[in-house]
Structure 1
Amino acid sequence: MTDEQEMLFSLDEKADDAGTPPGFRLHRLELLNWGTFHQEVRTFRLDGSNSLLTGDIGSGKSTVVDAITTLLLPANRIEYNKAAGAQKKERTLMSYVRGFHKSTRSAGGEYSKPVALRGTGKLTVVLGVFHNAVLGKSITLAITLWATQEAGQPNRFYSLVEGEQSIAGDFANFGQDPAKLKKQLRAAGASLHETFDPYAAAFKRQFGISGNQAMELFHRTVSMKQVENITNFVRTNMLEEDDVEARIGNLIHHFDDLKKAHDAVLRAKDQIALLTPITEGAAQHTALSRDDEFARQQRDQLHPWFTDRKLQLSIEHQTELQNTGLRLQEDSGKLATEITQLRLDLAAVKEDIRGNGGGRLAAIEAEAARLGEESRSQRVRFEKYAEAAAELGLQAPADRVQFDANRARLADVEKDLAAAANEVQDTRTELTMTRTVLTGRASDIAAELTSLQARPNLLPRPQVELRRRLCDGTGIQESELPYAGELLRVRDGEAAWEGAAERTLRGFALSLLVPSEHYAAVSGWVDGNNLRGRLVYLKIGESYTPKPAEAGTLATKIAIKQGTPFRNFLLDELSSRFDYFCCDTLEDFRRRSKALTANGQLKGGRGRHEKDDRQELSDRRNYVLGWDNLDKISRFRAEQDEVQGQLSVVAGQLTRVNDSLGAIGRQNQQLGIIGAVSDFAELSWQLTARRIEELKAEKARLESTSDVLRELTAKEAELTGKLDRLQVRADDVQRRIGSNEGAAKDIVEAIEDCREVLHETPLTDDVGVLAAVARLAAAELAGKPLTYKNTGTVESAVRNGLTDSIDALSKQIARAAEKTVRLMAEFRNKYPNETTEIDAALESAVDFGKLLEQLVGNDLPRFEAHFKESLNQNTIHEVVAFNAFLDSRRQDIVNRIGEINLSLAGIEYNTGRHIQLEHQNSTDLDVRQFGLDLRACSEGTIGDDDQYSEQKYLQVARLIERFRGRDGYTTLDERWTAKVTDVRNWFTFSASEKWTETGEEFEHFTDSGGKSGGQKEKLAYTILAAALAFQFGLASGKGAGKNAGSGRSFRFVVIDEAFGRGSDESARYGLELFQRMKLQLLIVTPLQKIHVIEPFVSHVGFVANTNGDDSQLRNMTIQEYRDERARRAG
């Protein structure tokens, strides 16, 4: 043998010169009430030697084996009677304690039931004495069991004592009370254990067993027949299972901290992403509101600005008119002087004409002048008559017949005009009343807007004014006397119920809340003053205990303003008074005793129903709940614009009606003109014109008879023409003077009007507004001059443009407000803890901005820094450490295989050959991918800059989430974790049969497939021997256990029926191998295989059970057994 081969047999205990068997060996096994070993103590004496346990099938051999395994292994790890081929759960610990030995049919014959030898309360004891001859030391192990119920698990306790005990001597004389037995055993020096683990730790220390797998291997030897798979056998029996759960737990713990840090970063980023559009929307709303306000200021200043410009232009024009008047007066004086001189010259010429036969001419001229004047008067009357006739639908009279016909129709025309005048006047009266109503509404809206802009609530102005008077009279702060509506609003997400809630709660919302300390002052002032309106106020008590509002009621849809001292009172009122169920269907509405529909139908007690549609349910101008009135302001402004538009329409209609009345008045005047002409002669200017022509002819004849007269007449005509022309000029100057004076008078009135307007609505001091108005006016004029005449037209055009802009801005403001408030509500719903004191209202924009500023400037950088530190300093370091640990365990396995191979080298498998175990890296995809993933998590981390790495986090997260168990994949991930973190699974194992001298390989195999039965058993015994040597620490040198040299080792092995089923040659090989290893064997086999086993055993235990309910155990030496056999054969 080589030195390595000697190693297995160079046992520390072999140094005993007397050949004393080494290690702890089973000397005696005692059974009381175990299975069919009933009532009396049965003892099996082995005396530390190889022993045979035999008997007929069903006699109780496996029962004895199960007793030994129950002493050395936890019951939950034992498959009782497995070696005999029993089905799982066929035998249990309870079946042994109760002594189930057969089954009988139930009374009804429906099922079978087991028959027990013992009832509950009867004690069962299994006791084993192990002795170490080298150390001269004995250890007694015992388990005491008893059943307290028909089924389930029996009660038990374990005992260990240094020294020998027996059931008869140490487990008797205590009655049936386990507590007394425990006391008795403790008095004898035994250590007692209620559970198996501390008991096992105690006997492992005594026996020098260092690992957990040693006893598992002990259990496997009981029924092992062959090594079907070398990899599984090596993993299970030769390599220790690592406790990685704590390390995985640390990884998960550190990752949980990392995930919290990462979640904080993601949460902060998500909040920033949500808050950014909120602040931008609020800023946009502010900017739009500012633009809207500026536009309204411009519109408000349009009339003062254009009036001021008209005033300046009018004053300039007044100066022009004054200068023009002076020039015209001067021209008029000059013309008057010239006309006076011409008249003197004309009088002299006329005198000369009369002296030269001009008397008749003078008479003709006088008559012609008179007739000419008469003709002109007749023509003017005719033209007026004809114009009046045309306007009244009559014909201009060409003769007396037509004139008489017109006079006959005058009465009917007068009647028709009177009827038309009455109708138009009625229309004017209606329009005037409409204008009065609209003007009053416009004034009310303006006052309401002024009031709303000065406060945040939605209350009607009279209520606010009444409270102001009350507070002025009592000295109480307005904030101490809120209306209920100022503290309530419909919750976000309940918009469908807003109209119905407003209508139902309106009366309560307009109730003034008066704390007890102000009750006396308020009630006194109210009683002593004319309120000029209606006031409801509620006295608020000291404390209220509101009941929770029932789900689905109106009360649950109402939010209360944060921080109000009236919260409990409001909750109490809402839950008790407004517990109307909000019903989506009429069927539900009809079932409830108190109910409300979204359309505002209310159902109260005693069958009372109400629906008040006097005001539109969705008209937000009537809403009174809440503390954000921007929407209400916007709607009042829209109404203001609408009323202004209606006023403009009514003004136009009144203008047209007034024009109609004026036309009717003119027609009445025309009727008077026609009625004033009583004779057709007053209109017949044609006859007068013919007479004038006749006189002109006569004058011409007279003038042609005298040359002097002709010259004088020509001179007269010349002077007359010149005088006429000057008179025309003088008349024109006088007309212009009159017109100028009229214009001067008008301009004075216009100036006064302008000054009156500016006094009532003066120009603002805001130069920015005035400059903006000036730019709008210039844009409208497009290079044309502004005059005092066109200011009204330009103002109207600019006003229309501004109104359109304001309408557009109002819509943009409403959209921006709606979007921003919706985003605020979404943020509050997602992050309620951060917004407990912040409402989803535009006045909270500053608070949302502060949140964003805190996140961007402080929280996110801090969270990111913490995340980077946690990632690089904690989690990654833990991953690196875990990877290093698994790598070290991998190397341990490589070293362990080397140590096992030292043991195998000392076992001659075939002549000149031995077995060696070989390891290869596993090809399992899960295992290989896990290794790659683990290295990816840890590579490039140590020594790197401290930087944020989302990719690294995601790598770690994927790994940790599988360790933790993903939702829906928990079982799968548990199996995966158990597989990939068990380093034993990183390898596969095979066996190589090598020539001992050269080390060359003779044969390589991964299992015993293809081998004969004997070869399979031989391979099993060989690998089993190496495993036992390793696990029990039997080898010296590197392969020895930590107790090597202390004399402590465990040498007892049970092989149940293995030798009975194999070939004689393989059985003999195994027995020789275990004998060389100085192991104590208890071989359990049927009688037919004893001839092979007999040479290797010293004691025989013969089990018999004649009747099936009382197993007997007979002890004999092998020689006694041979003698007995010989006697029976003879």
Structure 2
Amino acid sequence: MSIETTLPMGDLINPGQNRLASVQIVNWGTFDGAHTIKVDRAGTLLTGDSGVGKSTIFDAMLQVMDARPRMNEAAQNNSGTNAEEKRNAFSYMRGRLGTQGADDGAGTAYQRPGATWSAVCLTFDNGLGQITSLSVVMDLPATGTEHNLGRYYLVHNRPLDLQALQAGMRGRFTKGSLETLLPGAAVFDSHKMFAERYRHALGVEDEKAFNLLRILQTGKGLGGTVNDFFRNNVLDTPRTLTAAEEAVEDFSHLRSIRRQLERARQQRDHLQSVPELHTRYREAADALAHNRALAKEGLPAYRQRLALEGAQRTAEKLEQAATAARSELSAAETRRATLKDQRDALSTRYTEEGGGAIATLERELAAAAAQLRSRETVENAAKDELAAAGIDVDFSPAGLVTARSRATELVKSLSADLDAVKERSSNAHGEAWSLKGQIAKLENEIGSFRRRKSNIRQESLDQRARICAATGINEADMPFAAELIDLPAEHAQWRPAAERTLRSLATALLVRGEHMAAVTRFLSENDMQGYVRCIDVSVPVDGPTEPGPDDLITKLITRDTEMGRWVARKITAHYDFVCVEDPAGLADVAKGVSLGGAVKRNRSTTEKDDRHTKASDNVLGFDNKDTVAALGNELLALRGVFEEADNLSRQHASEQDELVRRLAAVRAIAADERTWEDLSADAARAAVAVATDRLESARDANADLEQIRFELDTAELDLTAATEKVGVLKGDAARLDADLAAAVERRTALSAKAPEALSEGLRSALAELFEPFGDLTDPARLKEAAGEVERSLITEQGRLEKTLLETRAKLERTFETFSDKWGSDFGTSVESAGAYEDRFEDIISEGLPQREAEFREYFNNRTYERFSDLLQLLDEERRSISSRLLPLNSVLRRVEYSAGSHLEIEVATTVPDAAYKFRTELKNALPMMGSRQDKADMDARYAALEGLVDRLKDPEEKRWRAEVLDVRSHVTITCTHRLASGHTYTNLQASLMSGGEGQRFTAFIMASALAYQLGIVSQGFSTYGTVMMDEAFVKSSLSFAEASINALHEFGFQLLLAAPEDKVDLSRFLGSVTEILRDDVTNRSGVLERGLGNSRSVDILLR
């Protein structure tokens, strides 16, 4: 093919700008041996047939510029398919020829199968005599694979000295050997360090510029919209991200100061009760000591004193009573002697006038009467047995025989009846006993509910009490959810449904976020002896926020407190069950509950739990009045049932007892073998009648003896009464003498033990205690009174000890928790209360004010400065994008995009709602300078700022963080085509254009992006200016390609283009042409260079 000659370059182009001058390649793909490609400062076109090695050269250059280059990417991007075989550095170094053979033992054939080395060197010249060469040298052992490939990078001030490498190479390359062979060269075994060095040498600060160069070289295109391309590949990472990190890091110091402030506040709150408790403890200890002195020392002495005074008064009274008793006894004895003489005289007279015979008859009558009574007892017992047995016969010899015959028959029938009655009685008794147990259980339940206000089970309340006692949390701050939920009277019929649906939530403890760690720790370290469920109310509730018209929450009321409102939100969001009165209505809703308590959880699951249906099982309610009333009604009904069952039981028991008695009587009659004479009292009655007749006949014979007998009986009675009186008076006198002796002895004994002297305070206190009992002369009364006083002292002592123990326990628990949380050198015993009280005073007088001042100072100054700078930087960085991009339009206006038209980049501010909200919240969270803030306002602002900082640090909020801080997403970059007529086409996209149009548009945008990155427009100059493009403008017409090249030239770039032969006309816009040739026989490539002004013949040696 003919090679056209380009126009002379004229004056030196862009002196001071590093432009590619040459490319050296050694043993790379089909380029066997050493090859040098000269690159004109005005640009060079690499051309040749397909497959001659153009992309091979660009892949070689990528080895220098990229740590992980993708080979032949431009050809793959333009063809739309992947290469059949992936190229890599190993295959290029070996010079892969293809596959040998067709059998299973086939292998890959290489041009350089043995030990070999390769090198690529890019030499840049700034036109002012400064040379910078960037090289990569690689080696492979004879049997090495791609894993054995060695690679070193070099930065030097001259082209790579290939002869020195070839001549001095001994074995494989090392860093030391390369530094020896190439003096002055900087050798690197890491591309990262190499890239940092060559970017500095070429004057390129940001790696993104080389990323753009790689995109241009491989022909990837924009990869999306103009906005996405600039945002992802062009715009610098905004300083707002670093500023936010620094502000967040600095906030950690404020957080530390805040923790110290919170620590001081918590210590103050923790020790708040210590002064009062310590005072109460001292007062209780003093009162207890006084009480013990009264009981131990004062009471015995005071009681002894009262006993002595009482003994003296008692002895005096007894002495007077004993004297009076002796006088009365003497008079009674004289009266008894007189009556005895009268009786003796009458007895002698009665005997002398025949009274002895009558006395004998009287004794006989008495003996007969006694025998009659004995026989009547036996007879009556026999009659009673007949009556008890229910046998109605005459009490006669014949009747007795009949009764015994009937009794034998009744024994069998009554035994069978007794078994049936016993069974009925047992059943009735069991039923009554069961009901009695139910009544007792129900009464206990009612009593338990009356002793508390909540419907929650007592064991659950005890569990909460344990948690609160251990953690110091007030029970009011940790309610059960059920205590915050109730049903109004008009919706009372929905209680069964609400109880079933909300039971799991209702029985859960609601814990504030700041208490959750302490509660969790206690639950983890202790056996709760049951099930405990806690819910952290600080966690936001997700789900619906507004209830439906028939949702369950509309049937309930919740307490108007913070936690009550949380419960309402929770039920609204997670228990959004529709209430339907007709169970058929459940089919029409996704989640619902019927009036009877059937719960439809989802489309496929409906359930009903009847395990907790009793009134005592209810848990919902602000108090338990309704539960107590329901249980009271249940108790009344149960008592009525019990009364009926108890009456029936008593009736059956009475029947059983009656039957048992009758059966016993029947058996006794059947077994009785006594004769009629053994049972009858008729003979005894006849004997009494005979004795009575004889006595009456004797008395009728001597009528005068009756008067004497009457007088004698009277005298006997008087004497007996006198004798009894004398005995009583003797006993009274003896008792009085004994009492007097005992009183005198007790007085003497008490006098011998003089009572101890008491202090006035103890004496007056004891006198006040004994005053209600009045006169205590009686020792028993004194003992009783002393016992009452002692019991009152013991009771008071117990109360004081309880107060002392409770106060001590509270103090020591306060000290223990203080020591556990913050550590303490004071110990945890009550003896250290004074030290803790002093600590409390120090906190409120010095420590807390100092911490508050330190926090206020840092928050109002350092923190404000950091975050206000961030707010300012968010605006500055966003505006800087426009200030750096919009000047590019001055260049774009000078380059025709098409006839008389040009492109224009537009930047619109599109701050996302999240970013706007973040800035507003951050601004509101910062302190208000120039105005005094109270504690509540500062705490609220700190809490708001802490929430924002925590969200900025949260790894799961990475997307939100980028949205609010990355100002690249706060602008929208578009490209507008302005025609000569004034018409415009906005928001141009390469993906909507034809292939050639797309390449032209991409070239313009890429040129603008490179100019932005290299600062060509803003600085007016760039120290780097080479752009390399493989498969350049293969889809574009010459006019499109010309416009694209002009744009790149206008932005100050040197072009190294690779294109097929049919695109050789591109050379007219460049400084030189280099043709790549390949010998198909030897599979080796070479280069042929042509340029105007230095044109010369070139011998091509294919090695």
Closer/same/farther in 2, CA of residues 846 and 234 from structure 1, 3 Å limit: same
Q: State whether residues 1014 and 1065 of structure 1, in contact with CA within 8 Å, keep that contact through their aligned partners in structure 2.
A: no
Partner of 1:913: 901
Q: State whether residues 35 and 63 of structure 1, in contact with CA within 8 Å, keep that contact through their aligned partners in structure 2.
A: yes
Partner of 1:371: 341
Structure 1 counterpart of 2:178, from 177, 182, 193 = 182
1:107 and 1:818 mapped to 2: Cα distance?
A: 93
2:301 and 2:1096 mapped to 1: Cα distance?
A: 143
Matched ranges for 1:1008-1047 at <5 A:
1008-1035=990-1017, 1039-1041=1018-1020, 1044=1021
Partner of 1:234: 230
Closer/same/farther in 2, CA of residues 179 and 327 from structure 1, 3 Å limit: closer
Structure 2 counterpart of 1:312, from 304, 309, 312 = 309
1:26 and 1:251 mapped to 2: Cα distance?
A: 44
1:885 and 1:303 mapped to 2: Cα distance?
A: 89
Give the 3-state SS of the residue equivalent to 1:1084 in structure 2. Answer: strand
Partner of 1:902: 890
Give the 3-state SS of the residue equivalent to 1:909 in structure 2. Answer: coil
- CA shift for structure 1 position 53: 2.2
- CA shift for structure 1 position 990: 1.3
Partner of 1:676: none
Partner of 2:1087: 1114
Q: State whether residues 150 and 173 of structure 2, in contact with CA within 8 Å, keep that contact through their aligned partners in structure 1.
A: no
Q: State whether residues 239 and 873 of structure 2, in contact with CA within 8 Å, keep that contact through their aligned partners in structure 1.
A: no
Q: State whether residues 42 and 1055 of structure 2, in contact with CA within 8 Å, keep that contact through their aligned partners in structure 1.
A: yes
2:785 and 2:792 mapped to 1: Cα distance?
A: 11
Q: Write the letter of the residue equivalent to 1:371.
A: D
1:367 and 1:1032 mapped to 2: Cα distance?
A: 156
Is the aligned partner of 1:796 residue 2:787? yes
Matched ranges for 1:725-874 at <5 A:
745-755=741-751, 762=756, 765=759, 767=761, 770-778=763-771, 781=773, 790-803=781-794, 830-831=820-821, 834=823, 838=827, 855-856=843-844, 858-874=846-862
Partner of 2:26: 32
1:160 and 1:79 mapped to 2: Cα distance?
A: 23
Closer/same/farther in 2, CA of residues 835 and 1074 from structure 1, 3 Å limit: closer
- CA shift for structure 1 position 757: 6.5
Matched ranges for 1:188-587 at <5 A:
189-196=184-191, 199-224=194-219, 226-227=221-222, 228-243=224-239, 246-271=242-267, 295-300=291-296, 301-315=298-312, 371-372=341-342
Is the aligned partner of 1:888 residue 2:862? no
1:900 and 1:210 mapped to 2: Cα distance?
A: 19
Give the 3-state SS of the residue equivalent to 1:1049 in structure 2. Answer: coil
Partner of 2:1047: 1073
Q: State whether residues 820 and 842 of structure 1, in contact with CA within 8 Å, keep that contact through their aligned partners in structure 2.
A: yes
Q: Write the letter of the residue equivalent to 1:251.
A: A
Closer/same/farther in 2, CA of residues 375 and 1024 from structure 1, 3 Å limit: farther
Write out per-residue CA displacement over residues 444-474 of structure 1, whole angstroms, 9 at most, x where no aligned residue: xxxxxxxxxxxxxxxxxxxxxxxxxxxxxxx
Partner of 1:536: none
Is the aligned partner of 1:1053 residue 2:1043? no
Structure 2 counterpart of 1:143, from 136, 149, 159 = 136
Give the 3-state SS of the residue equivalent to 1:85 in structure 2. Answer: helix
Closer/same/farther in 2, CA of residues 825 and 152 from structure 1, 3 Å limit: farther
The gaps in structure 1 that reach 5 residues or longer are 1-15, 344-364, 379-397, 407-491, 494-556, 558-686, 698-730, 1125-1130
Closer/same/farther in 2, CA of residues 859 and 185 from structure 1, 3 Å limit: farther
Q: State whether residues 45 and 1074 of structure 2, in contact with CA within 8 Å, keep that contact through their aligned partners in structure 1.
A: yes
2:113 and 2:839 mapped to 1: Cα distance?
A: 75
Partner of 1:75: 67
Partner of 2:966: 982
Partner of 2:11: 18
- CA shift for structure 1 position 265: 3.2
2:714 and 2:1048 mapped to 1: Cα distance?
A: 179
Q: Write the letter of the residue equivalent to 2:949.
A: I
- CA shift for structure 1 position 844: 6.2
- CA shift for structure 1 position 1060: 0.7
Give the 3-state SS of the residue equivalent to 1:1061 in structure 2. Answer: coil
Give the 3-state SS of the residue equivalent to 2:902 in structure 1. Answer: strand
Structure 2 counterpart of 1:126, from 87, 98, 120 = 120
- CA shift for structure 1 position 896: 0.9
Give the 3-state SS of the residue equivalent to 1:145 in structure 2. Answer: strand
Q: State whether residues 296 and 806 of structure 1, in contact with CA within 8 Å, keep that contact through their aligned partners in structure 2.
A: yes
- CA shift for structure 1 position 224: 3.8
- CA shift for structure 1 position 402: 10
Q: State whether residues 58 and 1105 of structure 1, in contact with CA within 8 Å, keep that contact through their aligned partners in structure 2.
A: no
Closer/same/farther in 2, CA of residues 742 and 899 from structure 1, 3 Å limit: same
Q: How many residues align?
A: 725
2:758 and 2:115 mapped to 1: Cα distance?
A: 108
- CA shift for structure 1 position 834: 1.1
- CA shift for structure 1 position 44: 1.7
Q: State whether residues 31 and 41 of structure 1, in contact with CA within 8 Å, keep that contact through their aligned partners in structure 2.
A: yes
Write out per-residue CA displacement over residues 785-829 of structure 1, whole angstroms, 9 at most, x where no aligned residue: 88666212222333445555556666777777777766666665x
Closer/same/farther in 2, CA of residues 372 and 283 from structure 1, 3 Å limit: farther
Write out per-residue CA displacement over residues 1079-1118 of structure 1, whole angstroms, 9 at most, x where no aligned residue: 32111223343345566452123153747x9552322327
Q: State whether residues 131 and 157 of structure 2, in contact with CA within 8 Å, keep that contact through their aligned partners in structure 1.
A: yes
Kindly report the root-mean-square deviation, in angstroms, between the aligned alpha carbons of the 2 structures.
5.6
Give the 3-state SS of the residue equivalent to 1:143 in structure 2. Answer: strand
Matched ranges for 1:2-17 at <5 A:
none
1:367 and 1:30 mapped to 2: Cα distance?
A: 170
- CA shift for structure 1 position 75: 0.9
Q: Write the letter of the residue equivalent to 1:1113.
A: G
Q: Write the letter of the residue equivalent to 1:217.
A: L
Write out per-residue CA displacement over residues 609-667 of structure 1, whole angstroms, 9 at most, x where no aligned residue: xxxxxxxxxxxxxxxxxxxxxxxxxxxxxxxxxxxxxxxxxxxxxxxxxxxxxxxxxxx
Structure 1 counterpart of 2:163, from 137, 150, 168 = 168
Write out per-residue CA displacement over residues 837-889 of structure 1, whole angstroms, 9 at most, x where no aligned residue: 846x6666666666656655554444444333333333332212232333322
Closer/same/farther in 2, CA of residues 991 and 856 from structure 1, 3 Å limit: same
Closer/same/farther in 2, CA of residues 1070 and 122 from structure 1, 3 Å limit: same
Give the 3-state SS of the residue equivalent to 1:1060 in structure 2. Answer: coil
Give the 3-state SS of the residue equivalent to 1:41 in structure 2. Answer: strand
1:994 and 1:1052 mapped to 2: Cα distance?
A: 29
Write out per-residue CA displacement over residues 235-272 of structure 1, whole angstroms, 9 at most, x where no aligned residue: 34543223556534432332222222223333444455
Q: State whether residues 264 and 863 of structure 1, in contact with CA within 8 Å, keep that contact through their aligned partners in structure 2.
A: yes
Write out per-residue CA displacement over residues 330-366 of structure 1, whole angstroms, 9 at most, x where no aligned residue: x99xxx9xx9xxx9xxxxxxxxxxxxxxxxxxxxx99
TM-score by length of 1: 0.54
Closer/same/farther in 2, CA of residues 820 and 136 from structure 1, 3 Å limit: closer
1:273 and 1:55 mapped to 2: Cα distance?
A: 86
Closer/same/farther in 2, CA of residues 693 and 996 from structure 1, 3 Å limit: same
Structure 1 counterpart of 2:947, from 958, 961, 967 = 958
Structure 1 counterpart of 2:910, from 900, 911, 922 = 922
2:101 and 2:260 mapped to 1: Cα distance?
A: 68
- CA shift for structure 1 position 49: 3.9
Structure 2 counterpart of 1:1003, from 985, 989, 1006 = 985
1:376 and 1:1015 mapped to 2: Cα distance?
A: 171
Q: State whether residues 304 and 758 of structure 1, in contact with CA within 8 Å, keep that contact through their aligned partners in structure 2.
A: no
Write out per-residue CA displacement over residues 69-93 of structure 1, whole angstroms, 9 at most, x where no aligned residue: 333x3414x4443222276994555
Q: State whether residues 54 and 1103 of structure 1, in contact with CA within 8 Å, keep that contact through their aligned partners in structure 2.
A: no
Q: State whether residues 239 and 896 of structure 1, in contact with CA within 8 Å, keep that contact through their aligned partners in structure 2.
A: no
